[in-house]
Amino acid sequence: MSDKPNVHCDTHGSQQETFVCEHVLEGWRAKTCVGFHAVPDSENPRPDAWCTACEQVFQEIGGDWENAPEREPKIRLICGACYDQAKRFHLNQIF
């Protein structure tokens, strides 16, 4: 299990900090599916995540953001519960 620090969310209280691209967060808020991608991590059930457009960039640069830092997406901090909800939404599990 991840030892990431917690953050305070106005909706969910103290939760694990998580990171997503701005498109995942904005799409979830606007109820517009943009996809949800992450590199699986057995130590962290909520690895950093990004949208389908950012996934295309990720593949173009060889699967490592460090290969092209100028193309990295803008990252947003959200709580673990918000991450779970955004993930379910973008994977079309709930609307």
**What predicted TM-score, i.e. pTM, was given to this entire model?**
0.86
Give domain status of residue 1, yes or no.
Answer: no
- Within the chain, which residues score under 50 in pLDDT? 1, 95
pLDDT tens, 71-91? 888 999 999 999 999 999 999
Domain count, the chain: 1
Give domain status of residue 95, yes or no.
Answer: no
Q: Report the distance separating Cα 66 and Cα 27, nearest Å.
A: 25
How far does the chain reach from its first CA to its final CA, in angstroms? 28
Domain residues for 31?
6-90
Q: Report the distance separating Cα 38 and Cα 21, nearest Å.
A: 11
Query: What does the pLDDT read at residue 2?
Result: 54
